[in-house]
């Protein structure tokens, strides 16, 4: 089983004025510039006490660990004509923002505020709460629309999530999940939005038998179709694991069964969620997966760069490993063919359970990541 790599918190009701600026393109500098920014980030607190971890941990010892090289084929892609907005949205509620506000005199605050709390980050929806998920999604997408920004939402409620590991939970069955996805989609609105659909749901299927795996992949294919039908401007990305996990051809075969090669359900793939693999490794790996996947030439990839500034630690350590650093700033302007965005899906400083309580913000860990 793949060890859980981090912990996220579920989205509660959004409160207060929603503010955002641009997506903070800083080129190759992971720390970026010190320009003025709002004191916000985007992983929101849950009204419940459950804090399910997000997976994407180190692969088992049998998984391939070789680093792929870029494939020479199918790297050119048509421009995305539907994309108008180029700036990512920052939601004003998060654990890191709460800490910054509560500790203005702490000597670590300035670094944490400027290099983590001010960045746009994904908003996770981890609770199976079909009666409220529409309004909670709408609160985020509406706030982003008012600012002409693009929010990043993580749908994370697939049944048998994390193969019963630390992130276990989600919908009770696939019929219930279909209803949850319908309700999630109803909150998207009509503007641009990035949906990271179910981290690890495809890369990590070893706990399922053949029938269970086929049913899950069919449910994910349906989910993508529902999301894109509800909002044609939604960009839906499917789980590709990361460069140290499944071989590209193996991952592509699973992705194809999940609808990731169809323009009706997919805009491409995501990788490295909550993990540490270097951006160059992920770019090369994602291109190989896309080449093996086939489908429309416009399919691309998004990469979680939130904690990969120093690459993955030796030995596949996943729980708040030492010596890591924040990675490239979130942006749609990657300068890389077929790479649509660098995103902060995992909010740096939220502990995996070793340098703080699982799922809780650790200022010492955040400062370590931000100042490395």
Q: Which of 23, 286, 320, 352 is catalytic?
A: 352
Going 215 to 221 to 223 to 229, the CA torsion angle's sign is negative
The question of whether 175 is a catalytic residue gets the answer no
SS (H, E, C) 89-103: CCCCCCHHHHHHHHC
| 336 phi/psi in degrees, rounded to 5 | -120, 130
The question of whether 352 is a catalytic residue gets the answer yes
- The secondary structure of residue 314, as a DSSP letter, is G
Q: Which of 162, 267, 286, 340 is catalytic?
A: 162
Q: Compute the distance between CA of residue 50 and CA of residue 146 in angstroms, rounded to an integer.
A: 31
The question of whether 209 is a catalytic residue gets the answer no
Q: Which of 200, 239, 267, 286 is catalytic?
A: 200
108, 184, 105: which is closest to 151 by C-alpha?
184
Helix/strand/coil for 162: helix
Q: Report, in this order, helix, strand and coil percent for the chain, each rounded to 5.
A: 30, 10, 60
DSSP letter string, 212-280? HHHHHHHHHHHHHHHHHHH-TTEEEEEE---TTSS-HHHHHHHHHHTTTT-TTT-SEEEE-TT----HH
Instruction: List residues bridging with 155 in a β-sheet.
Output: 125, 197
Residues carrying an active site annotation: 162, 200, 352
């Amino acid at each position: 089983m793949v060890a859980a790599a981090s912990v996220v918190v579920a989205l509660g009701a959004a409160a207060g004025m929603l503010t955002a600026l641009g997506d903070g393109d800083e080129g190759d500098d992971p720390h970026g510039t010190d320009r003025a920014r709002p004191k916000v980030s985007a992983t929101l607190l849950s009204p419940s006490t459950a804090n399910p971890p997000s997976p994407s941990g180190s692969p088992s010892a049998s998984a391939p660990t070789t680093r792929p090289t870029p494939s020479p084929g199918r790297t050119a892609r048509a421009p995305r004509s539907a994309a108008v907005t180029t700036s990512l949205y920052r939601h004003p509620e998060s654990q890191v923002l709460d800490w910054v506000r509560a500790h203005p005199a702490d000597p670590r605050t300035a670094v944490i505020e400027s290099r983590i709390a001010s960045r746009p980050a994904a908003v996770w929806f981890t609770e199976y709460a079909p009666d409220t998920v529409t309004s909670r999604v709408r609160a985020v997408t509406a706030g982003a629309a008012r600012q002409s920004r693009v929010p990043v939402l993580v749908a994370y409620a697939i049944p048998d999530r994390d193969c019963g590991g630390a992130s276990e939970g989600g919908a009770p069955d696939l019929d219930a999940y279909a209803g949850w996805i319908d309700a999630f989609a109803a909150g998207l609105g009509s503007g641009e939005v990035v949906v990271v659909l179910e981290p690890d749901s495809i890369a990590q299927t070893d706990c399922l038998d053949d029938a269970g795996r086929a049913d899950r992949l069919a449910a994910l294919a349906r989910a993508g179709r529902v999301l894109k039908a509800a909002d044609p401007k939604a960009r839906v990305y499917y789980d590709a694991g990361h460069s140290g996990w499944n071989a590209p051809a193996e991952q592509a075969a699973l992705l194809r069964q999940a609808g990731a090669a169809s323009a009706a359900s997919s805009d491409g793939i995501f990788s490295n969620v909550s993990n540490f693999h270097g951006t160059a490794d992920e770019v090369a790996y994602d291109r190989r997966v896309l080449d093996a996947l086939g489908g429309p030439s416009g399919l691309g990839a998004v990469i979680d760069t939130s904690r990969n500034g120093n690459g993955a630690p030796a030995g596949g350590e996943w729980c708040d490993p030492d010596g890591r650093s924040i990675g490239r700033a979130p942006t749609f302007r990657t300068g890389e063919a077929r790479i649509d965005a660098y995103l902060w899906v995992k909010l740096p400083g939220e502990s995996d359970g070793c340098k703080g309580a699982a799922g809780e913000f650790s200022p010492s860990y955040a400062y370590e990541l931000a100042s490395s």
